Amino acid sequence: MEFHYEVSGNDFARAGLASSEIKKTLQRLGLPHEVIKRVAVAMYEAEINMVVHAGGGVADVRIDKELITIVMCDKGPGIEDLSKAMEDGYSTASEQVRELGFGAGMGMSNMKKNADEMYIDTAKGKGTCVTLKIRIPEHS
């Protein structure tokens, strides 16, 4: 199964819509709760980063028998210091975004913590693509 979503930049009313839809799909498929939670958290964090920092982008999700692959790509400014961005609490979010309750600096580490594999392709001025892979254990 494959899904494609457009993620609008700076649209906080719709932020998290794609990850919410995927969560519902995984629940309908009867996947284990732990897998659904990990996918929802990792994808939501990537989605919020696109809304806050990159003016939006696209989310593509592929659900196979043993693996869920999430690819989130934007055409934003890129991540200037990737190693710094991976640190808990580091954020480049504006004060306005923080006042809305976003930008706590946990997005990247939450993605990494909830994914079995995480790849980031970013370049200053070229945007960012984050690929998250979450394995589905055998279940009945």
Question: Is the CB of residue 57 less than 8 Å from the CB of residue 7?
Answer: yes
pTM, to two decimals: 0.89
pLDDT higher than threshold 70 for residue 139: no
> Residue 105 and residue 103: Cα distance in Å, rounded?
5
pLDDT at residue 28, as a whole number:
97
What is the per-residue DSSP string for 39-72? HHHHHHHHHHHHHHHSSEEEEEEEE-SSEEEEEE
The answer to whether 30 and 49 are in contact (CB under 8 A) is: no
pLDDT (tens digit per residue) in 30-69: 999 999 999 999 999 999 989 888 889 999 999 999 999 9
Give 63's strand partners: 68
Tokens 């009945």, residue located: 140
What domains lie within the chain, and their CATH numbers? 2-135 (3.30.565.10)
Residue-wise pLDDT for 73-87, tens only, equals 998 999 888 887 777
pLDDT at residue 113 in the model: 94
pLDDT tens digits along 114-133: 999 999 999 888 899 999 99
Measured distance CA(110)–CA(108) in Å, rounded: 5
pLDDT at position 95: 77
